[in-house]
Every structure is written in structure tokens, then in C-alpha cells.
Chain A
């Protein structure tokens, strides 16, 4: 049996999902692949069920927004961890901001439930098949997605504050 490392992981993924893998790199030692968003559920299921890899822990799930990547503005970043091999993997899926939809993995990992809600709350990414997709940290009445880059930190229309002495 070959050693289980990033190269082996990438080889296994390439065999199964060669069409869906857009790119792969290793920043700071963690294998990072950009995956086509249609394949996320089968890929996560495959990694979880794989006899050697055993990626059975979802460490983290969050959104990112790159307004300059036209057509792929919004992204979801998954971090997986295989305790047995002590191997981590980062998967990124990008989608257009006009139609931000991706399949939910909360059926496979219950930990994704709230994290997907959080991502929806802040980035407006819709997770298809999520059991209870609603805002989690922000108020329910909010009608925008505050972590997107077009929203400044503070409401620029505020008139009750005079910031001229602070140079902003």
C-alpha cells in the first residue's frame, strides 16, 4: 500500500473526478483543489467512504467573495480532515453571483448544517437540499448579504456622525 499523503490523495481524486477538478495546488502544505460545484456531493461522499483516505471529519465550511472573478464570484471553502492519516484537504467550489446555488452536504456531515446557514446568511449562497436554510446570526428581516465585498463596513449614508477629523 502506498503512503497516504497529498500526492496519493490527489491521484485518487483525479481518477474519480478528473473532469470536475479545475485546479490543484498545495499552499502551506495543504492540498487545495478547485472543484466543479456539481460534483461536490459525490466527491465528499467518496472521500468519506474511501477505505484508505477516511476523510470523515468536516473541519470548516465558509464562503468567500471575489468580485473580480467574473462568472465565479462566490465560493464555498470546505476543510476536511482525516484523523487516521492526519491529512487535511481544502476544497473550493466557485459559482456565479447571479445564481449562487450549490448542493448541500448537510446530509453527509451534520456539522455542515449551521455552517451552511452561516454562509447563506453572509454571502447569500443557496444550499440545495438543506433542511432549514434561514439566517442564523443576523436578524431575519435583513435583505442583503453583509459579507459580500460591495457592502462597506459602515453604512455610508449615515448622517448622524461627523468623521471629518478622523480623515474618513
Chain B
């Protein structure tokens, strides 16, 4: 009698399941080794580093301008935010004051990037619960945002947008017209997308209560961005440490209550409306003035001048080769990226490249909380939890 139950090895009955590294539902290259008891997840271990590209090491050997394309490839769903965050970090180190026009133009670009980031994330949550329609529908609006980026800087996904001290060129009339058209036409599409999912019974059943986390645990794991705000804490870098004149704009910070997948979805939905508000306000009140700061040592001169003017040519050469002097010092600058606080810790020894550059990648830090959020839930909940956390492989692995 004593040997029937006592020696029974429960662990032997568990199944090990590899979710990833190349599973279509993980939306990126990362692996989860799940220990399953039937359909229930008992334990999980994450592996990352599949697309580690040693950006921090490369950045120690490249002049500042050559770091911008590296930042593109962190969170590639909202590259302009990363680019501008990096440029602002260098400006902080150099003590450059940017004109108001630059700040407003940057705000417009960053908020457009935020909308495109949130659109991808939210529509992918829909895909993972079986609603493909919303995804295919809003992707043409992301395309419209990429058209605007293309008009501004020539690139779409990995934008490499802007310069240290400003932007490479002013908004052309066609850019302004495209942004206005987007701001006018997008709300109807977003409303339709909202109607499709927000009060959809199936969607609600699948997402409410999936992957919940409370504020205390979220802070413990270093959550930032929409994932933290979904738990009810209104921490937003744009409001707490305003950069690029965000203090001039009136916007609210949406928060959730339960910190589950549905709340994360709703926070992102509301943030898109707020972003639209900010863009409208910035484009209507765009101050006159220059689109760059007076820092000839770092702001690449316009090509027309480089070809025709000796001084501009010299500056161009010195900037590209990284010959300009930089102050010695260390600086931390954070921006509100698409999925959280994107920080740059830059140590400069006065040389042509950064002595040390560390990226505070929000998803690398908050992805640690994932096992706690999915333990005891089913595999299908784990899938929607992961997509609602907006884990981007490029940012995870740097």
C-alpha cells in the first residue's frame, strides 16, 4: 500500500516542449523551453541571443554617426525613436540646445513611429487569437506612416533619420500634406479596428486574465512602457523627464488595472489616440526657424554646400572621420520607446568613438517577467501574452 502513491514520480510525466526559436507565433527568434503538464505550463526557461550582433562592442569602434544605423536595428518597429534617442544622448553630452522647430519635428516623427509600433503589436495580438482581418487591414496604415518616413529621410524600416543637432532636411510641403492626410484619415480606420476587437466577445475571452502581473511584481522585474502602465502605474518618460519639448503638449497617460493581455492591448489603443493628438498639435503649431542647431562640428552640412564650399567640405570630412572633439564625461538619457524606457548610457573619454555605450533595452529587461506571467496557464495563453508584451528580437539581443 505504501508504495502505490508515495514513490510516484510526477516529474517523469511532464513533457518538454520547445517553443521556438523559429516558431511563427513567437514573432522573432527566441526560444522558450516549456515544461508542460498536459496543456498547463509548469515551468519555462528562456534562451535568447540568437541574433546577438555585438552592437555595444561595435559602437566602441565607430564615430557617433555610425552608431545611428545600429540603433535602427534595436526595436526595428519604431526605429526613428531609437535614432532620435541616440542623437539626443549625444546632444546632451555636447550640451547642444536644439531649436523648437527641431523638437516639434522630432515629436511628430517619434509619435508616428509609436503609432506604427503599437499598430503592429496590437494587430498581432489579434492574429494570435485568430483574427487575421485586423492585421491585414491596419498594415496599410503602417504603410502610410512608412511613406511619410520615406518622404522625410528616404528610408522606410531602418530609417537612420535625423542628425546630431537636428534633422537632415526640413519638412517639405508634401510631407506636411501627407501627415495631415494621415491624421485626418487614420482615426476612421483605428475606430474600425477598435470596433473589430475591443468589445469582441471571443477576443475578450481570450485576452482578459491572460498573463496578468501586478504593479509590484512589474516594478520588481523592471517593466516600463505600456506593459507597466497596464498594471496601473502611470510612469512615462515623456511626462516624467520631458525631452524634445514634450512638456509643450497636452496628452494623457492611459493606464490599465489588471496588467493582463487585454489591458496591455487597451493601453496601446489609447496611446495611439494620444499620439494622434500630439501629432496634430505639433504640426499645427510648428514653430518657424531652423531645422538644425548651430553645431558645425557635428551637424553634417547640406550636400549642396559640401560640393561648393571649402569650409563645409572640411566639416563634412571631419565629421565622417570622427575628428571633432567631444567632452569627457558620462551621460544617461532615456526616451519613451515603443515598448518602454529606452536608455543610452554613454561614457566618453574624448576619443572619436564612445568609450562605452550601453543600451537599456526595455524588452530585454521585462522579458524576464514572462515565466512568472505564464506559469499555470495554457500554451495558447502564453502565445498571446508574449505577443502582447511586444518583445522584439532585435532589441532583446542587441
Q: Which residues of A contact B (CB under 8 A)?
A: 27-28, 30, 32, 56-60, 62, 64-65, 77, 79, 83, 86, 88, 90, 109-111, 113-115, 118, 122, 135-139, 146-147, 153
Chain A CB within 10 A, most for which of B233, B332, B397? B332
Cross-interface CB contact of A77 among B49, B92, B345, B368, cutoff 8 Å? B345
A110 in contact with B61 (CB, 8 Å): no
CB-based contact B332/A111 at 8 Å: no
Given contacts A28-B330, A79-B345, A153-B61, 17 further A-B contacts (CB under 8 A): A56-B219, A57-B219, A58-B222, A62-B345, A62-B358, A79-B332, A86-B240, A110-B217, A111-B222, A113-B368, A114-B368, A136-B48, A137-B49, A147-B57, A153-B57, A153-B58, A153-B60
Q: List 21 A-B contacts (CB under 8 A).
A: A27-B329, A27-B330, A28-B93, A28-B329, A32-B330, A56-B219, A59-B341, A60-B343, A60-B360, A86-B240, A110-B368, A110-B369, A111-B368, A113-B368, A114-B368, A118-B364, A138-B49, A138-B52, A146-B54, A147-B56, A153-B60
B344 nearest CB neighbor, chain A only? A60
Q: Give Cα A28 to B345, complex, Å.
A: 12
Residue of A nearest to B54 (CB): A146
B96 at the interface (CB under 8 A from A): no
User: Inside 8 A of A113's CB, which chain B residues have their CB?
Assistant: 368
Once the chains bind, are B220 and A111 in contact (CB under 8 Å)? Answer: yes
Which B residues are in CB contact (< 8 Å) with A135? Answer: 49
B57 touches A137 (CB 8 A): no
- For B58, B221, B222, B341, the residue with the greatest tally of chain A CB atoms inside 10 Å of its CB is B222
State in angstroms the CA–CA spacing of A109 and B367 once bound together: 14
How far is A69 from B397 in the complex, measured between Cα atoms in Å? 30
Q: List chain B residues, Cβ under 8 A from A111.
A: 220-222, 365, 368
Q: Is B398 an interface residue (CB 8 A)?
A: yes
Residues of B within 8 A of A90 (CB): 330, 332
For the complex, give the distance between the alpha carbons of A113 and B24 in Å.
28
Bits for B214-225, please: 1 = Cβ < 8 Å to A, else 0: 000101111000
Contact B345–A114 (Cβ < 8 Å): no
A contact residues around B331 at 8 Å (CB)? 27-28
B16 in the interface (beta carbon within 8 A)? no
Cβ 8 A contact of A64, one of B58, B220, B347: B347
Chain B residues within 8 Å of A, Cβ to Cβ = 48-49, 52, 54, 56-58, 60-61, 92-93, 217, 219-222, 233, 235, 240-241, 329-332, 334, 341, 343, 345, 347, 356, 358, 360, 364-365, 367-369, 397-398
How many A-B Cβ pairs are below 8 Å? 86
Name the CB-closest residue of A to B49: A137
B343 touches A79 (CB 8 A): yes
Shortest distance from the beta carbon of B101 to any chain A beta carbon, whole Å: 24
Q: How far is the CB of A165 from chain B (nearest CB, A)?
A: 18
Task: Tell me, in angstroms, the Cα distance from A146 to B52 when the chains sit together.
Answer: 13
Q: Are A64 and B356 touching (Cβ within 8 A)?
A: yes
| Cβ contacts under 8 Å, A56 to chain B | 219
Which residues does chain B contribute within 8 Å of A153, judged by CB atoms? 57-58, 60-61
Q: Which residues of A contact B330 (CB under 8 A)?
A: 27-28, 32, 90
Contacts of B49 in A (CB 8 A): 135-139
**A86 touching B57, Cβ below 8 Å:** no
Give the docked Cα–Cα distance between A122 and B221 (Å). 21
Task: Name the residue of chain B whose CB is nearest to the CB of A152.
Answer: B61
Q: Judge whether B332 and A30 touch: CB under 8 Å.
A: yes
Task: Closest A residue to B47 by CB, please name it.
Answer: A136
Report the nearest A residue to B366, measured CB to CB.
A111
Tell me if A28 and B222 are in contact (CB < 8 A). Answer: no
A114 near B364: Cβ-Cβ < 8 Å: yes
Question: Which of B54, B233, B367, B397 neighbours the largest number of chain A CB atoms within 10 Å of its CB?
Answer: B54
Closest Cβ of chain B to A164, distance in Å, is 19
Residue contact B347 to A110, C-beta cutoff 8 Å: no
Distance in Å: Cβ of B50 to nearest Cβ of chain A? 9
Q: Write out the residue numbers on chain B whose beta carbons fall within 8 Å of the beta carbon of A118.
A: 364
Most buried by A among B57, B220, B365: B365
- Distance in Å from the Cβ of A136 to the closest Cβ of chain B? 6
| A residues less than 8 Å from B233 (CB atoms) | 83
Closest CB of chain B to A4's CB: distance in Å? 15
Contacts of A65 in B (CB 8 A): 356
**The residue from B52, B222, B332 contacting A110, defined by CB atoms under 8 A apart:** B222
A114 and chain B: residue at smallest CB distance? B368
Given A27-B331, A147-B57: A59 in contact with B52 (beta carbons within 8 A): no
* Chain B residues closer than 8 Å to A64, beta-carbon distance: 347, 356
Residues of B within 8 A of A28 (CB): 92-93, 329-332
Given contacts A90-B332, A109-B222, A111-B368, contact A137 B345 (CB under 8 A): no
B313 to chain A, nearest CB (A): 21
User: Measured between C-beta atoms, what is the minimum distance from B44 to chain A in Å?
Assistant: 13
